[in-house]
Amino acid sequence: MILDDAGMDGIAAVIFDEFHGRSLDGDFGLALALDVQAALRPDLRLLVMSATIDGARVGTLLGEAPVVTSEGRSYPVDIRYRDRAADMRIEDAMASACRDMLAEETGSVLAFLPGQGEIERTAERLAGRLPADVDIAPLYGGLDGRAQDAAIRPAPEGRRKLVLATSIAETSITIDGVRVVIDSGLSRLPKYEPATGLTRLETVRASRASADQRAGRAGRTQPGVALRLWRAEQTAALPAFTPPEILEADLSGLLLDCAAFGVTDPAMLSFLDKPPAPALAEARALLVELGALDGDGRLTDAGEAMRRLALPVRLAHMVAEAGDRRAASELAVLLTERGLGGTAVDLDRRLAGFRRDKGPRAQAARKMAERLNRSAAQERPSGASSAMTSAGALLLLAYPDRVAKARGEYGRFVLANGRGRCSIRPSRWQGRVFWSSPTCRAGPRMRGSRLPQRSPKKRSASIFQGGWKPRPRRVSMPSAAPCGRGRRYGSAPSGSPNANCRHLSAQRRIAG
């Protein structure tokens, strides 16, 4: 809203709720609001709200604003601890704890796990081993709206529910009947590596703030119990708060929106935590490479068209520049929605499966792709780069630096950005000289690992211009775990369990 109307006409106050999540959107929105308040709207009121926030720091950022504390209404929660052996898988510990708590306590149970994989494996361990009146309900971002609604809906009369959830259930969701919470103590967060331009996922200890939020779910409607799968004395060693996303994320989308706001250097804005210089430098180089910014950091016409597509910048560039925007839009949706079209690493096969899928989630995704296609056509009437429609050719427009050439032994490739060692199962790629992946893992720079000295965009384009002779239909997308914060700004792996995904939240009940 602020980007489209800097004066914020007709707006008297802006409220930032659940600010403890420290999403990139939230931090950026507050920085923009402070800028507007200082320059144009001294009468604009700003209110930042959270149950677990560093109030003193936020108050200082807001110009020594008063900190108001309201205890609110809650029921007592009995917090218990159970240590997990070092060699015990979290799924085994969680399954055992679920069985015990369902036997000892009344009411429904909400169990927190780091990701979709752990949820599915825990459900497998519990299948057929629960009381007859208990239903298992998974809850994560990759589920369709119907399954998410089933997880949130109260259990039928005379039955109980065991909800296996990611961190999306920490806040904003109250599940009636839940009076027991089991906390694995783990979270999965994305971490962007400027040196490689890749985002990877890390399973980390949950913060004390997250643990408090999770425990609080047990006391929303009645007195409850929270079981933590660690020793009580370990709580003090947990980080106080979850790391702000701005310190860990790909900042290309942030930089693009800053340019649209007329800010060429984000350091000019009042962020609670300043964006890291290496990540900003990497983001700026990418945006210049894609033609979204000029040499002075100003927004170009191509950059404006990309920004209005509300996709991660790489995928926005692919859709805006593709000769076949319909195929590019379908691929963009496929890369942001985990599980669509199957699990094959070959994206052409997944695209074919996606187009054949008659399920409600696939139909909704195809409608989303069609809206992207229409929006791109309005911004730029004709694609400028390529008329080729294979997934490989389209990926070159989004990931020119991630084209890779075999290094002479199976499973080792050199990327166009100069990185070697990509994690891939060699048997699937025997005889494949070239491949492209939006989510590959790259190792450190290695001697002799660079491709010809051209920009990544030109190097990758030469693949299809006679310089190299690949089989472009073989396109890799190695599987990745669900991302905890896959928002518009990031180039994180697909399938976020977080509820704040900016470019998909309008289409899904709980966006991933």
Closest CA to 197 of 441, 377, 469: 441
Q: What is the pLDDT along the chain (512 residues), one digit of tens a residue?
A: 788 888 888 999 999 998 888 899 999 999 999 999 999 999 999 999 987 778 888 999 999 888 888 877 789 999 999 999 989 999 999 999 999 999 999 999 999 999 999 999 999 999 999 999 999 999 988 787 788 888 999 999 999 999 999 988 887 677 889 999 999 999 998 888 776 667 788 899 999 999 999 999 999 889 999 999 999 999 999 999 888 999 989 999 999 999 999 999 998 999 999 999 999 998 999 999 999 999 899 999 999 999 988 889 999 999 998 888 999 999 999 988 877 888 777 888 889 999 999 888 889 899 999 999 998 888 665 544 445 478 888 888 888 877 777 766 666 667 766 655 554 554 454 444 445 555 555 444 444 444 444 454 554 444 444 344 333 334 444 333 333 333 333 333 333 333 333 333 333 322 22
Could you write out the three-class secondary structure of 460-487? HHHHHHCCCCCCCCCCECCCCCCCCCCC
DSSP codes, 143-211: S-HHHHHHHHSPPPTT-EEEEEE-GGGSSS---TTEEEEEE--EEEEEEEETTTTEEEEEEEEPPHHHH
Contact between 20 and 167 under an 8 Å Cβ cutoff? The reply is no
Backbone angles phi, psi at 183, to 5 degrees: -110, 120
Could you write out the three-class secondary structure of 236-261? HHCCCCCCCHHHCCCCHHHHHHHHHC
The percent of the chain in helix, strand and coil, each rounded to the nearest 5, is: 40, 15, 45
What pLDDT is stored for residue 345 in this prediction?
Answer: 77
Backbone angles phi, psi at 191, to 5 degrees: -135, 120
Query: E-assigned strands of 416-476?
Result: 434-436
Backbone angles phi, psi at 405, to 5 degrees: -120, 140
Bridge partners, residue 440, by sequence: none
How many CB atoms within 10 Å of residue 204?
17
Structure tokens at 206: 């949950």
What pLDDT is stored for residue 20 in this prediction?
Answer: 84
Q: How many angstroms separate the Cα of 507 from the Cα of each of 278, 340, 361, 366? A: 33, 15, 11, 11
Report the distance separating Cα 79 and Cα 77, nearest Å: 6
For 77-243, the fitting CATH number among 3.40.50.300, 3.40.50.1820, 3.30.360.10, 2.60.120.680 is 3.40.50.300
Report the distance separating Cα 7 and Cα 370, nearest Å: 33
Structure tokens at 18: 């659940």
Contact between 129 and 486 under an 8 Å Cβ cutoff? The reply is no
What pLDDT is stored for residue 422 in this prediction?
Answer: 53
Closest CA to 141 of 488, 477, 485, 439: 485
**In sequence order, which residues have a C-beta less than 8 Å from that of residue 246 and are 6 or more positions away?**
22, 24, 27, 28, 254, 271, 273, 275
Contact between 267 and 255 under an 8 Å Cβ cutoff? The reply is no
Domain ranges of the chain: 77-243
Axis crossing angle, helix 313-321 with helix 391-398, rounded to the nearest 10: 120
Host H or E run for residue 90? helix 90-104
Closest CA to 490 of 291, 254, 292: 254
Q: How many angstroms separate the Cα of 444 from the Cα of each of 96, 410, 426, 474? A: 41, 18, 19, 25
What pLDDT is stored for residue 173 in this prediction?
Answer: 75
Radius of gyration of the chain (CA): 24
Contact between 486 and 493 under an 8 Å Cβ cutoff? The reply is yes
How deeply is 464 buried, as exposed, middle or buried, from its count of CB atoms within 10 A (0-12, 13-18, 19+)?
Answer: middle
pLDDT, tens digit, for every residue of 150-168? 899 999 999 999 999 998 8
What pLDDT is stored for residue 496 in this prediction?
Answer: 37
Contact between 97 and 230 under an 8 Å Cβ cutoff? The reply is no
**Cα–chain center distance at 137:** 22
**In sequence order, which residues have a C-beta less than 8 Å from that of residue 330 and are 6 or more positions away?**
351, 354, 355, 366, 369
Contact between 21 and 242 under an 8 Å Cβ cutoff? The reply is yes
Structure tokens at 331: 């691929």
Q: Strands across the sheet with 134-139, in order?
A: 77-81, 224-228, 178-183, 108-112, 160-165, 134-139
> Residues, the chain, total?
512
Structure tokens at 308: 């209005």
Closest CA to 421 of 191, 190, 194, 196: 196
What pLDDT is stored for residue 381 in this prediction?
Answer: 58
Amino acid present at 44: L
What pLDDT is stored for residue 25 in this prediction?
Answer: 92
Report the distance separating Cα 344 and Cα 257, nearest Å: 34
- The answer to whether the predicted template modeling score (pTM) of the entire model surpasses 0.85 is no
What pLDDT is stored for residue 79 in this prediction?
Answer: 97
How many CB atoms within 10 Å of residue 128?
6
